[in-house]
Structure formats: C-alpha cells, structure tokens
Chain A
Amino acid sequence: MRTQATPAVFRDRTGFPLVEIAGLGVQISLLPVMKVQFEQFLGEPQRVKGDAGDGLPADTYGNEWYERLLALNPRASWRDFRYEDRERLILTGIRPEEALGFARWLGPSFDLPRIEEWRAACVGLQAAGAFRLRTAGLPVGTEAAAILERLHARHGLDTWADLSLMRGGVLEWVKVGSSRKGLRCRTGPHDFQGVGKPRDEFHSTTYNPLDESVELITVNGLRLFGFRVVKRD
C-alpha cells in the first residue's frame, strides 16, 4: 500500500525509473543517468544519435568521445559494484548540451530538470520515507532493479532520498533559466549549473544543493558532472 508521500514510479525507454512526486508536476529520474543506461543510447545508430545531438560536433557520442568520458570517471560493473565505486556507475564528464541529446532520444517530453524542479524533487523524495523495491514495481533482473537492489540491500540506502543519490552522488546539470543571464547575455554552459551533494571521498564540498549551485570552470571539472532527466507532459 502506497502512502501519500510515496512517489509514483514510471519507466523510461531504458527501463530506468522515473518518479512522480505529488505537487511537482513532472516525472524525474530516480537515479542520475547511469553509464549502463546511457550506453543504450550510444548503441543507437549514428543517425539517431546525430539527430538527438543536433548542432554538436560530429564525433559526439562516438567511441573516442565516450572513452574520454570514461577516462575521467572509469566504469564499474552494475552487477557487482562496491559502495565506494558507486559514482563510477554514474555517467559523468558530459556537457549539458550532450546530455540534452540523450534526453531528446528518450522522448520529446524529456528534458534536463530546471533547478527548482530538481530541488522540489529532492525535498519530495526526502518526505517519501522508506524505499521498498517491490513497491517500485521494477522488473527483476533489469539493470535498474539490480542497481537499486544493491544500493538498498547491500549498501544500506534505505530511503527514496538516499537512493536518488541527489546527496551522495555527483554534481548534476540543471537548467538555471534565462533570468540568471548577466549583462553579457551569455549562453552555453552557464545556462546550466551543477547541483547535488557528492560524497566527500568523491568531491569534498560544502554545497547545500537546496540553496546553492555551482558553475563549471575547467574541463577537468566535467568529471564531477552527471545529470538526470525529467519528463514534462
């Protein structure tokens, strides 16, 4: 029986869960986009990927591109990962415009979350209480179910909020909106900022994702950035 605060769970085309939180109005990924999840997109024909990443360099989403990402944050097995390796499950090193290509591939309603959506989801999941894998309704044996089950059962992440890895994960790209543009009307990376609260072992930080966000300054910082998606109806 689902309590009122317990989010409704849906799945995207990769089989990973989206949750709908009361009052939020959008569905948002329960987990940041995982490498195994993103690799489904990478497995698409180049034409499909190219359409998704319209306007990006031709080699985007190519092997070399992906290897550069993996060099920043190597891959870990989703079947058998250690607690301290969990960030390696998450796709990082990606730029926001590249992440948008993945969102478009998921469907026309998919997008990167706006910062307020991300924060509302973070608060909503904190109120959701304890996580039950059965309640989530994920098919057993899928990558998503396996990752969640391992995080939940073996690594002690008991709540929806813990499992969302909004805290204890990586920095995630969010849209900050045009109102934040300065006098220079800059576009590009600064329309996106990072929120989230990584583990100190991954990136020592004092950010409070509910109050603060960070901007990317150097390419090296990309290794800290992943993303999750929202689906707006």
Chain B
Amino acid sequence: MVLCPNCLSEVDLGKAAGMGGTGDPACPSCKDTIPLRYVRDYAAYPPIVLSLIGLTGHGKTCFLAALFRKLALIQKEWKSFCFSPLDESGMVVLREKLGSLEKGLLPKRSMKGFPKPTIVRLEGVPQLSQCHLLIYDTGGEVFGQVGQLIKFGGYVVRSPVVVWLASLEDVDGPLQLENMLTVYLEAMFKLGGDPKQQRLLFVLAKGDRLRRLGSSGALPPELEAALDRDPTGDEELLKLSRAIGHWLEGYPGLTNFVRRAGREFAGVDFLVTSALGGEPNKDQLDVSAVPRGVLAPVLLAWARQTELAREETARKRREREQALEKAQAKNAREEEERRQARIAAQRKRLFGVLGRVGRALLSGILGAVEGAVITAVLWAAIRFAARCSLMWEPIPSVLTTMGPTGVAGAAYGAAAWGIVAGVEAFLGAGNRTMRDAMRQGGIWFPLLLAGAGFLVWGGGAVLELAGQRVSLAGVWPEVLGVGAVGLVEGGKAGTLASAVAVLLSTLVAGRENLLVSTGGTLPLLLGLTVVGGVAGLKAGGDYPWLLWAGVSAVIYLVVALVARHWGAHR
C-alpha cells in the first residue's frame, strides 16, 4: 500500500508500482499521477506530510520559501544532509521560491485551489534519517469559509499533522483564530475527518515581530531563545512548545482558542518561526533572509508522524496479539469444552451402560413376567382348545403330553421372553418396530432375537431330553413361546424368525414330535395367530394385527404341512 501524495489515500498501485514500469503510475483513487521515484523508493523514504493552513498573509508561502532556503543553509551543519525535488514540478517550485528569496523578493501568494504537493526528498537528517516530505500549501482565503475549505483544502482531512501558521500581529481580532478553528472543524467533519485523530502544530509566524507585542507582556525565555537560535532537539522543541502554549493561553483574547484547540485535536504543539529573520521592506528584503525556526515544524511533524506511525504499528500489533490471544483462548475454551464433552460422554456412556444394564434387567424381569403370563394364558387357551377339540387325535394323549411340559414350556417361554426383552432394551431398541431396529442393527438384530429365543428353547429341550422326564412332544409349547417372543417383539421379522425357530426345533427335536403332536395343531395355530395379532398391535398402525396373525398362521401351516408331508413319506 502506498500513500498517494495527491489525495493522501492509502492505495494499492499493484503492478504499476513494480520495477518494470517506466511511466508515472496513476492513483486508483484520484486518478492523478504519482512520481515514479516516490513509488519505487516508498519503503526507504517514508512520506511525511506537511499540510500548511492559515489565514491570508500569515506567512505560509514565505515559510515554505524560507524552509527551502534553510534546507540549503543547514548543510553546513548537517554534514551528510542533502535534499532534492522529486519531480520536475517540485523542481520548478523549489527554484522559484529559492530564487525569489535570494533576490530579496517575497514569494508570490499561493492561489486558492486544491494544491498538488511539492515532494522533496530529504536524506541524512540527524536522528530522523530520510523521508519524502509532502508539502501542501493553498491560498489562505480557503480557510475562511467551510465551503471553500471543503473544495480546496480537503488534503487536511487525511493529514495526521497539520501545521497552522498564525501571525499574531496580523490577526484581525482574537476571534479570527477561533473562527478559523470553527471553520476548520466543521469542514473536517463534513469531509468525514476526525480532528481527534490529528495533531495540530500551531506555529507563531513572523516571530521576529513578537517582541513588539508589548501589551502581551514579556516573551517566555524559551521563545526568546528560539528566536535567537534554531531549536532542533526533541526535548528542546517540547519544552519550547509547553512554554509557548502556556504563554499563549495567557495572551489577551487567545485563552479560549488555545483551550479549544487542546480539546478538539489529539494534541497541540506550539512553535515559533521567523521565515525571513527580519522585517521586509514592503515586498522586498533589503538583506538576505535568515530563516529562524522553519525546520522545527518539519522536524516536529516528522517526529509526531513517526510517533503516530509507531503507535499505529503498535496498535495493529496489539490487535493482532489480542486476536491471537482470543483465538488461543477460544481454542482453549473449545478444547476444554471438548474435554468436558468427552468426560460427559464417557460418564454418559458409563452411566448409559449401567442404565441400559439396569433397564435390561428390569425389562428382562418384566419380560419374564409378561412372557410367563402370556405363555400361561396361551397354554390355558391351548388346553382349553384341546379339551374342546373333537378333531383328529384323542384328547387324553394331548393332555398327558402337554401337562408337565406345559409348565416347563411356560417357564422357558417366560425366560426367553425376558432375555430377549432385556437384550432388546440393552441395545436400545425398546418400543420400536423391527423395521426401526433393523435400521439400527441391520438384519442381525432380528436374527439375534430369533437366535436368542432358539438357544433358550434348545437349552430347555436338551435338559428335558437329558432328564427323560417328558416326551419330546412337550417342546411345542416352548416352540410356541419362542415364536411368540419373536412375533411380539419383532413384527414381521420376528414372525419369520419364529417360523425358522419352529422349523429348526422340529428338525432338532425330531419329525416325530410334530407328527405325534399333530393333535395340537389347532391349538398351536390358534396360539400362534393370537401371538401374531398381539405383535401386529404392538407394531403400530402401519401393520394391522390381523395381517400379522394371518401371516403367522400361514407360515405355521406351511411348516406343519411340509413336516407332515415329510413324515408321511418316511
């Protein structure tokens, strides 16, 4: 980014600023050209803005001419100092002003208009090194009206330091300075500027005449000394500034002006100059000008701008550091939140496992009770149906077969139901349809249910066989219990699982059992249908219970017919 010397905007010149170009680049903001040397050497020669303001006849243009003369004179003292205009227009200004002053002619008054800056390269300045001095000067009448100042003095808006030259002898009453201050402030605000971001360098011009202002009392010794010898050191300038400020505050009619300026600007420094070093004879100097104090505003403006730039850099660095600290704090906070979340998740998982185990146990108990009740009811229904049945097999055999094994079947059914309910609760599939459970656990979930039920039944069957306490035909209630579990808890998939369980149990327990217990076909069919209906009810509205009951019945009948057919062939 480069500070455009014409409009004082920070602009990005892009490729125009590169080393390849040979023409003066144009400012993208104001479209005016910028000297190529200014752009190329921008980093090595920081711009220092010297914006001159002040009423007509208060010595702005003379100050400028005297400044150039002083730059020439000071080379005797500053051994490595040199200066040069940066472009042809600057050279013309420099030559004109220096030439007229050497001839004893006061420089012509500046015309009002938006000034193109005179850019002077300074090198080898003690303690301050080098810079491009951007000097702005326009006609003093511009500063008398807000409209004029907005039109022609807009450069002051972006000047970090403004140099106000005022000749107390030429002030037309104390209010004139206050009026100009009011005009300046209003114009600044209308141009979008903020005086609080600016420093004011209030320079008493024509200092050689100050001694004649007898009514104001004795001049402060620092001011007297400054009129005798150029003050240059920082401390010396600041001491002088304080002394002049204090003196001016007590100067008749200037108290309010000095205090207002102090409040309106970021800071005010006071200096004194005598551009010519003596009284001219009208517009002609009889002896050569010996400028006094003309370098001080430049040096102080330079120091202040360097200070402001340093503060700006420090502010930006602080902001970056604060942003970094914020980001780090945010990261730390987020990390802490993540850690807390992890801990919470671990706790939740732990408590979740415990909870689920608890829920599983509770569900198992409740499931066992539920299973026992359902199986008992089912068993009662079967027995009732068997008693009432006039179909196929003699009822007594059914009764003997189903008596003791019916109790065991109820117990196994209850256990199977409870275990499956507990597992289901542990997996978090409680109160869901099998479709939802499948979404969560895939096809393995209903298989798990069916497998669990089968293992329970299989275990019971093995025990019964080992004890030879009951006939194999007694497995049917158990098969019924397992199937019921699958149906009730699993809906369609459970129905399939129960059918598989029936088939497998038939194969394991022996085809004969199926044949032997054909007398129980009707009760089994009935029971299975009831269980399918209950499953349909639990599954919810998508699946009517009658459908499930029918499906269960059909499945069972198919299995039975296959088994019967198979047995008949044997």
Contact B290 A212 (CB under 8 A): yes
| Partner pick for A217 among B103, B208, B209, B227, CB 8 A cutoff | B103
> In the complex, what residues of B have CB within 8 A of residue A218's CB?
104, 281, 284-286
| Partner pick for A205 among B104, B212, B277, CB 8 A cutoff | B277
Contact A217 B290 (CB under 8 A): no
Interface assignment of A200: CB less than 8 Å from any CB of chain B? yes
0/1 string, A199-224, CB within 8 A of B gives 1: 01001111110011011111011011
A217-B103, A217-B104, A218-B104 in contact; A205/B288 too (CB < 8 A)? no
B59 to chain A, nearest CB (A): 14
| Partner pick for B286 among A204, A207, A211, A221, CB 8 A cutoff | A221
Q: How far is the CA of A200 from the CA of B212 in the complex (A)?
A: 8
> In the complex, what residues of B have CB within 8 A of residue A200's CB?
208, 211-212
Q: How far is the CA of A203 from the CA of B281 in the complex (A)?
A: 11
> In the complex, what residues of B have CB within 8 A of residue A17's CB?
none
Interface assignment of B477: CB less than 8 Å from any CB of chain A? no
B320 to chain A, nearest CB (A): 48
| Partner pick for A206 among B104, B212, B228, B286, CB 8 A cutoff | B228
Interface assignment of B58: CB less than 8 Å from any CB of chain A? no
Q: How far is the CA of A140 from the CA of B281 in the complex (A)?
A: 41
A200-B212, A217-B103, A218-B104 in contact; A206/B278 too (CB < 8 A)? yes
Interface assignment of A194: CB less than 8 Å from any CB of chain B? yes
- How many chain-B residues does the 8 Å CB contact rule pick out? 22
Interface assignment of B287: CB less than 8 Å from any CB of chain A? yes
Contact A214 B208 (CB under 8 A): no
Interface assignment of B31: CB less than 8 Å from any CB of chain A? no
A206-B228, A206-B292, A207-B277 in contact; A220/B208 too (CB < 8 A)? no
0/1 string, B259-300, CB within 8 A of A gives 1: 000000000000000100111010011111010100000000
Interface assignment of A171: CB less than 8 Å from any CB of chain B? yes
A87 to chain B, nearest CB (A): 15
A214-B287, A214-B290, A224-B286 in contact; A203/B229 too (CB < 8 A)? no
In the complex, residue of chain B having the shortest beta-carbon distance to the beta carbon of A194: B287
Contact A204 B279 (CB under 8 A): yes
> In the complex, what residues of A have CB within 8 A of residue B274's CB?
206
> In the complex, what residues of B have CB within 8 A of residue A208's CB?
228-229
Contact B281 A207 (CB under 8 A): no
| Partner pick for B211 among A204, A220, A224, CB 8 A cutoff | A204
Interface assignment of B451: CB less than 8 Å from any CB of chain A? no
In the complex, residue of chain B having the shortest beta-carbon distance to the beta carbon of A218: B286
0/1 string, B171-211, CB within 8 A of A gives 1: 00000000000000000000000000000000000011101
Contact A217 B286 (CB under 8 A): yes
> In the complex, what residues of A have CB within 8 A of residue B229's CB?
208, 211
A194-B287, A215-B287 in contact; A220/B228 too (CB < 8 A)? no
In the complex, residue of chain A having the shortest beta-carbon distance to the beta carbon of B77: A211
| Partner pick for A171 among B212, B228, B284, B287, CB 8 A cutoff | B287
0/1 string, A176-218, CB within 8 A of B gives 1: 0000000000000000001000001001111110011011111
> In the complex, what residues of B have CB within 8 A of residue A194's CB?
287
In the complex, residue of chain B having the shortest beta-carbon distance to the beta carbon of A222: B286
Q: How far is the CA of A205 from the CA of B285 in the complex (A)?
A: 12
Contact A221 B227 (CB under 8 A): no
Q: How far is the CA of A212 from the CA of B70 in the complex (A)?
A: 12
0/1 string, B449-466, CB within 8 A of A gives 1: 000000000000000000
Q: How far is the CA of A207 from the CA of B290 in the complex (A)?
A: 7
> In the complex, what residues of A have CB within 8 A of residue B284's CB?
217-218, 220
Contact B279 A217 (CB under 8 A): no
| Partner pick for A204 among B209, B228, B285, CB 8 A cutoff | B209
B221 to chain A, nearest CB (A): 15
In the complex, residue of chain A having the shortest beta-carbon distance to the beta carbon of B279: A204
Contact B209 A216 (CB under 8 A): no
> In the complex, what residues of A have CB within 8 A of residue B288's CB?
214-217
> In the complex, what residues of A have CB within 8 A of residue B281's CB?
218, 220-221
In the complex, residue of chain B having the shortest beta-carbon distance to the beta carbon of A199: B211
Within residues 212 to 236 of chain B, which ones have a CB less than 8 A from any CB in chain A? 212, 227-229
Q: How far is the CA of A211 from the CA of B288 in the complex (A)?
A: 15
Contact B207 A204 (CB under 8 A): no
A112 to chain B, nearest CB (A): 17
Contact B290 A216 (CB under 8 A): no
A211-B229, A214-B288 in contact; A204/B103 too (CB < 8 A)? no
Q: How far is the CA of A218 from the CA of B212 in the complex (A)?
A: 25
Contact A206 B207 (CB under 8 A): yes
Contact B278 A204 (CB under 8 A): yes
Contact B228 A205 (CB under 8 A): no
Q: How far is the CA of A60 from the CA of B25 in the complex (A)?
A: 63
Q: How far is the CA of A208 from the CA of B73 in the complex (A)?
A: 14
In the complex, residue of chain B having the shortest beta-carbon distance to the beta carbon of A190: B288
> In the complex, what residues of B have CB within 8 A of residue A211's CB?
229
Q: How far is the CA of A94 from the CA of B229 in the complex (A)?
A: 28
In the complex, residue of chain A having the shortest beta-carbon distance to the beta carbon of B272: A206
Contact A207 B278 (CB under 8 A): yes
Contact B290 A206 (CB under 8 A): yes
Q: How far is the CA of A212 from the CA of B292 in the complex (A)?
A: 10
> In the complex, what residues of A have CB within 8 A of residue B279's CB?
203-205
Q: Which of A200, A206, A208, A215 has the most CB atoms of chain B within a 10 A radius of its CB?
A: A206
A151 to chain B, nearest CB (A): 22
Contact A205 B286 (CB under 8 A): no
B168 to chain A, nearest CB (A): 14
Q: Which of A217, A218, A224 has the most CB atoms of chain B within a 10 A radius of its CB?
A: A217
> In the complex, what residues of B have CB within 8 A of residue A215's CB?
287-288
Q: How far is the CA of A220 from the CA of B285 in the complex (A)?
A: 9
Q: How far is the CA of A80 from the CA of B228 in the complex (A)?
A: 32
Q: How far is the CA of A205 from the CA of B227 in the complex (A)?
A: 9
A200-B212, A217-B103, A218-B104 in contact; A206/B277 too (CB < 8 A)? yes
Q: How far is the CA of A200 from the CA of B211 in the complex (A)?
A: 8
> In the complex, what residues of B have CB within 8 A of residue A216's CB?
286-288
Q: How far is the CA of A215 from the CA of B288 in the complex (A)?
A: 5
> In the complex, what residues of B have CB within 8 A of residue A217's CB?
103-104, 284-288
In the complex, residue of chain B having the shortest beta-carbon distance to the beta carbon of A220: B286
Q: How far is the CA of A212 from the CA of B278 in the complex (A)?
A: 13
Within residues 107 to 121 of chain A, which ones have a CB less than 8 A from any CB in chain B? none
> In the complex, what residues of B have CB within 8 A of residue A203's CB?
278-279
B443 to chain A, nearest CB (A): 106
4 interchain residue pairs of minimum CB distance: A221-B286, A217-B104, A205-B278, A215-B288
What are 14 A-to-B residue pairs whose CB atoms are below 8 Å? A194-B287, A200-B208, A204-B209, A204-B212, A204-B279, A205-B278, A205-B279, A206-B290, A207-B278, A212-B277, A216-B287, A217-B103, A217-B284, A217-B285
Chain B residues near A (Cβ < 8 Å): 103-104, 207-209, 211-212, 227-229, 274, 277-279, 281, 284-288, 290, 292
A200-B212, A205-B278, A206-B207 known; 15 new pairs, CB 8 Å cut-off, are A200-B208, A204-B212, A204-B279, A205-B277, A205-B279, A206-B274, A206-B277, A206-B278, A212-B277, A212-B290, A215-B287, A216-B288, A218-B285, A223-B286, A224-B287
